[in-house]
Structure 1
Amino acid sequence: MEIQEQKTVLVIDDEPINITVLSGTLRDHFRVIVAKTGKQALERIEKVTVPDIIMLDIMMPDMDGFEVCRILKQRPDTKDVPVIFVSAMSEHQDEEKGLALGAVDYIIKPFSPAIVLTRIRNILQLIEAQSFLENQNKVLEQKIEERTREVFLTQNVTIHALASLAETRDNETGNHIRRTQHYVKSLALNLRENGHHLNELSDANIDLLFRSAPLHDIGKVGIPDNILLKPGKLTADEFEIMKTHASLGAQALIQAQDSVGDNETSFLRYAREISESQHEKWNGSGYPKALSGENIPLSGRIMAVADVYDALISARIYKPAFTHEKAKAILLEGSGTHFDPKVVQAFANIEETFIDIAKRYQDY
């Protein structure tokens, strides 16, 4: 049995002869419901069933077919039901008006029963095909969403696994990773709110900054324990070795990016930038490349403020924890020399947010 033979056709016409002809043409192929007026047709739809297709005359006593069509297209349950006008009105403007109201076809009386049957079948087949494609698209969209979630989770697992590896080598991190993550995101949002770096600080990129921030010290896994874990101040030679963690981290992440095969859009791009450039200084006196000003990647300039602030307020073997006010004073003093002035201003704008983050993820 063809799928059209299971469909319901509603015939609306005030002429008994027209109802007889259309019903006789269609009843061997479809379930046929008839109505002699627009009002009766709307009642049939409410009390009997919503049809799959409607054959609608224009000239009727209580309301004409145009009005019936207008009502049908306004109702949620019938707005998608295809309407075919079957009318003796043969003027082009009548046909144009009917199609403009949402009808899918316009058949002029007298009509050929075979043509009417063929047009109905074609329309129902088209609707069935559209429905099939819509369902396929929904299935495809669902699969894409599932795949996107899988990729997102895989990226997060990769980041946290690498960050945890770095954390095991450094006994001073504690909740440092979580705090710097939130500092970075807050700074990026404030920069955007104040009109800075609008192209780079999209929602997607800020999310990547947040997710990549835990890898900022990944290069420390390559630093010898006697230097990384030294309880006292490093010698000049030891500090030179310590500084190599920026390049070591960048090289490790570059290799990871190469395995992904897309260095420009890889989710590890920001992690590489942060790892390599967080110790650069605005005046060019930083390391490893002595970059200055806006030649330093924005991600590195943001992390520099976040990382230094957290180091200042955290207790270390070689120093006590500074107060927020003292850390703030050091950051403000370093604006334009150590730090990007815009990022420092962003910090000043949201210092209460920094205080809240530090409390929420404090070390115990």
Structure 2
Amino acid sequence: MNENEKQTVLVVDDVTTNLDLLVETLKDEFRVQAALSGKEALALVNSSSPPDIVLLDVMMPEMDGYTVCRIMKEDLRSRDIPVIFVTARDQEEDQARGFEVGGVDYITKPVSPAIVLARVRTHLALHNQNVLLERKVAARSRDLYLTRQEIIRRLGVAAEYKDNETGMHIIRMSAYCRILALAAGMDESAADILHSAAPMHDVGKIGIPDHILNKPGRLDPDEWEIMKTHTTIGAQIIGRHDHELLVLARSIALTHHEKWDGSGYPAGLSGENIPLEGRIVALADVFDALTSKRPYKDPWPEDRAVAYIKEQRGVHFDPALADLFVGCMDAVREIRESVADEGSLNWEGPACLVRTGS
């Protein structure tokens, strides 16, 4: 095994003879770092090349080993590094305290080189297995998340095609949602989840009869009542789940036609009683509908659509979100110009539209 393949052991003791013995014991099989104090040990642990395991003395001046271990376990950068206490304190209560602060093992002095090697090998093997398992679980979780995303997107596309619209609509309005979410203070992760859930906003239109959905003229009152049920149908299609992506998708399907003044549907919610995701999608959906060609209308020019958004702030739309959306018009315009209705349906989209990553 060459030096680059060796794992790193940090040995910490304020007595140089103890350090020398541990270094001599471990150096043929591992890269070995040494520290004479708790402060020095923490600096190495939090460096750009942290150790894979720590052998830690307990009785040291200024900062004892228990304190060093506790600090490590409270820090996200170092909490998973195994710590083995190596100390002359061999009372049961001493060992119990070592395990309480996060140690994985306890070796008493004077040490046996064979025992030290065996314990280090064992705990590194366990640690390596745990790391590998965590990576596999993370990869599997990522695959499941991407699968959920794709199912949601494709159901959104299905709803758009039934509605005699274009799949480009859900790409644009989902991108608008992400832009507005970030402007409203959502972090990148939350904005990405909203971007992934937004395509399901009109999935309930799958349950609306074609003669109503594609009627070229104005709907009569009875037809309009049926049309409004696409919100509750959408929520039923998505169902109730614990996964945040599907929870958000259901909320969006149910609330994106609520209005700030309470005149929307299906529940007549008003103001901040409407979930933030519903308020964001309402704006993005209406703006794209206004600026897109439909069988019953030509696209509105941008200035007319913006004027409508301003006019409806505090009526249809959350006034703060309406102001933010208008302020993001350069980014919105870039999306609208990049994703034309004549384009091919491509979820990977232009760089300004989809950010890769979880």
Band of TM-score, shorter chain: 0.5 to 0.7
Question: Quick one: distance in 1 between partners of 2:31 and 2:110?
Answer: 12
Gapped regions of structure 1 (runs ≥ 5): 1-25, 27-31, 34-44, 57-64, 86-94, 107-114, 193-200
Q: Once the 2 structures are TM-superposed, how far is the Cα of residue 117 of structure 1 from its aligned partner?
A: 9.3
Matched position secondary structure for 1:304: helix
Q: Once the 2 structures are TM-superposed, how far is the Cα of residue 125 of structure 1 from its aligned partner?
A: 1.4
Query: Match for 2:268: what amino acid?
Result: A
User: Conserved in 2, the CA contact under 8 Å of 1:279 and 1:288?
Assistant: yes
Question: Quick one: distance in 1 between partners of 2:122 and 2:223?
Answer: 71
Query: Match for 1:297: what amino acid?
Result: P
Q: Does residue 322 in structure 1 map to residue 300 in structure 2?
A: yes
Which one has the largest radius of gyration? Answer: 1
Question: 1:347 corresponds to which residue?
Answer: 325
Q: What does the per-residue CA deviation read over 1:304-336, in whole Å, with 9 as the maximum and x for residues that have no partner?
A: 110110011011122111111100000000000
User: Conserved in 2, the CA contact under 8 Å of 1:280 and 1:291?
Assistant: yes
User: Conserved in 2, the CA contact under 8 Å of 1:217 and 1:245?
Assistant: yes
User: Conserved in 2, the CA contact under 8 Å of 1:184 and 1:213?
Assistant: yes
Q: Which of these residues, 134, 141, 154, is aligned with residue 148 of structure 1?
A: 141
User: Do the aligned partners of residues 120 and 53 (structure 1) sit closer, same or farther apart at CA in structure 2, a change above 3 Å counting?
Assistant: farther
Question: Quick one: distance in 2 between partners of 1:81 and 1:150?
Answer: 31
Q: Once the 2 structures are TM-superposed, how far is the Cα of residue 158 of structure 1 from its aligned partner?
A: 1.9
Question: 1:211 corresponds to which residue?
Answer: 196
Query: Match for 1:302: what amino acid?
Result: I
Q: Once the 2 structures are TM-superposed, how far is the Cα of residue 51 of structure 1 from its aligned partner?
A: 5.9
Q: What does the per-residue CA deviation read over 1:175-206, in whole Å, with 9 as the maximum and x for residues that have no partner?
A: 000001100010000010xxxxxxxx344332
Q: Which of these residues, 180, 183, 186, is aligned with residue 190 of structure 1?
A: 183
Question: 1:13 corresponds to which residue?
Answer: none
User: Do the aligned partners of residues 253 and 78 (structure 1) sit closer, same or farther apart at CA in structure 2, a change above 3 Å counting?
Assistant: closer
User: Do the aligned partners of residues 225 and 81 (structure 1) sit closer, same or farther apart at CA in structure 2, a change above 3 Å counting?
Assistant: closer
Query: Match for 2:273: what amino acid?
Result: N
Question: 2:339 corresponds to which residue?
Answer: 361
Question: Quick one: distance in 1 between partners of 2:266 and 2:49?
Answer: 67
Question: 1:162 corresponds to which residue?
Answer: 155
Question: 1:176 corresponds to which residue?
Answer: 169
Question: 1:123 corresponds to which residue?
Answer: 116
User: Do the aligned partners of residues 79 and 132 (structure 1) sit closer, same or farther apart at CA in structure 2, a change above 3 Å counting?
Assistant: closer
1:1-364 matches, cutoff 5 A: 50=28, 96=60, 119-192=112-185, 201-254=186-239, 257=240, 260=241, 262=242, 265-364=243-342
Is the deviation greater in 299-308 or in 151-160? Answer: 151-160
Q: Once the 2 structures are TM-superposed, how far is the Cα of residue 130 of structure 1 from its aligned partner?
A: 1.6
Q: What does the per-residue CA deviation read over 1:86-116, in whole Å, with 9 as the maximum and x for residues that have no partner?
A: xxxxxxxxx847x98999568xxxxxxxx99
User: Conserved in 1, the CA contact under 8 Å of 2:257 and 2:265?
Assistant: yes
Is the deviation greater in 141-150 or in 297-306? Answer: 141-150
Is the deviation greater in 300-309 or in 125-134? Answer: 125-134
Gapped regions of structure 2 (runs ≥ 5): 1-20, 69-84, 89-107, 343-358
User: Do the aligned partners of residues 120 and 284 (structure 1) sit closer, same or farther apart at CA in structure 2, a change above 3 Å counting?
Assistant: same
RMSD after superposition? 3.9
User: Conserved in 1, the CA contact under 8 Å of 2:292 and 2:298?
Assistant: yes
Question: Quick one: distance in 2 between partners of 1:266 and 1:213?
Answer: 13
Identity %: 39
User: Conserved in 2, the CA contact under 8 Å of 1:50 and 1:78?
Assistant: no
Q: Once the 2 structures are TM-superposed, how far is the Cα of residue 79 of structure 1 from its aligned partner?
A: 7.5
Question: Quick one: distance in 2 between partners of 1:343 and 1:305?
Answer: 8
Q: What does the per-residue CA deviation read over 1:273-314, in whole Å, with 9 as the maximum and x for residues that have no partner?
A: 111111111111111111111111111100111011001101
Is the deviation greater in 229-238 or in 132-141? Answer: 229-238
User: Do the aligned partners of residues 234 and 137 (structure 1) sit closer, same or farther apart at CA in structure 2, a change above 3 Å counting?
Assistant: same
User: Do the aligned partners of residues 50 and 356 (structure 1) sit closer, same or farther apart at CA in structure 2, a change above 3 Å counting?
Assistant: same
Q: Once the 2 structures are TM-superposed, how far is the Cα of residue 361 of structure 1 from its aligned partner?
A: 0.9
Q: What does the per-residue CA deviation read over 1:58-107, in whole Å, with 9 as the maximum and x for residues that have no partner?
A: xxxxxxx97xxx9xx9899998899999xxxxxxxxx847x98999568x
Q: What does the per-residue CA deviation read over 1:244-279, in whole Å, with 9 as the maximum and x for residues that have no partner?
A: 11111112222xx2xx4x3xx442111111111111
User: Conserved in 1, the CA contact under 8 Å of 2:205 and 2:234?
Assistant: yes
Question: Quick one: distance in 2 between partners of 1:208 and 1:269?
Answer: 10
Question: Quick one: distance in 2 between partners of 1:275 and 1:84?
Answer: 55
Question: Quick one: distance in 1 between partners of 2:31 and 2:227?
Answer: 77
User: Do the aligned partners of residues 77 and 208 (structure 1) sit closer, same or farther apart at CA in structure 2, a change above 3 Å counting?
Assistant: closer
User: Conserved in 2, the CA contact under 8 Å of 1:50 and 1:77?
Assistant: no
Question: Quick one: distance in 1 between partners of 2:174 and 2:192?
Answer: 10
Q: Once the 2 structures are TM-superposed, how far is the Cα of residue 53 of structure 1 from its aligned partner?
A: 9.6
